[in-house]
Amino acid sequence: MADIEAVLAPWLESRFDVFSASETPADLEDSLPMIRVERGGGGDGRFSLHPQVYVDVFAATADEARTLSNSVRDALVFLRGPVNGAVVREVRCDAGPSRQPWANETIYRRGATYTVSLRPA
């Protein structure tokens, strides 16, 4: 079955030309802006997956984080078709981008939750 992090992270990186991965790097301050894609649960069927996905945007300013996270949301809810070894059927935004805490106060984080319906290509 398709790994949702391996499907979405490269797609987001190429779409927005920003670093995207499933984990934040130790040198996050030097990698901004960054998009983190992380599976948080969801169901797996015999022929399809419906993972819940947390998508966090990290940026140097609040405006940059807000703008990028809104652009990511807009792109994801319209994503359909073949993507990195999977076929995306639907993306639903369960909780839109909102400010999230982060240990380093000089980094701004906005997070959203999505459910992605897909099957292997």
CB 95, CB 113: distance < 8 Å:
yes
Closest Cα partner for 66 from 28, 99, 93, 107?
99
Pairing mode, if any, of strands 34-44 and 49-59? antiparallel
Task: Check residue 1 and give its pLDDT.
Answer: 58
CB 81, CB 87: distance < 8 Å:
yes
Number of Cβ atoms within 10 Å of the Cβ of 16:
16
Spell out the domain ranges in the chain.
Answer: 4-120
CATH for 4-120 is: 3.30.2000.30
Tens digits of per-residue pLDDT, 32-45?
999 999 999 888 87
Which residues are bridge partners to 37 per DSSP? Answer: 55
> How many angstroms separate the first and last alpha carbons of the chain?
9
Tens digits of per-residue pLDDT, 45-69?
777 889 999 999 999 999 999 999 9
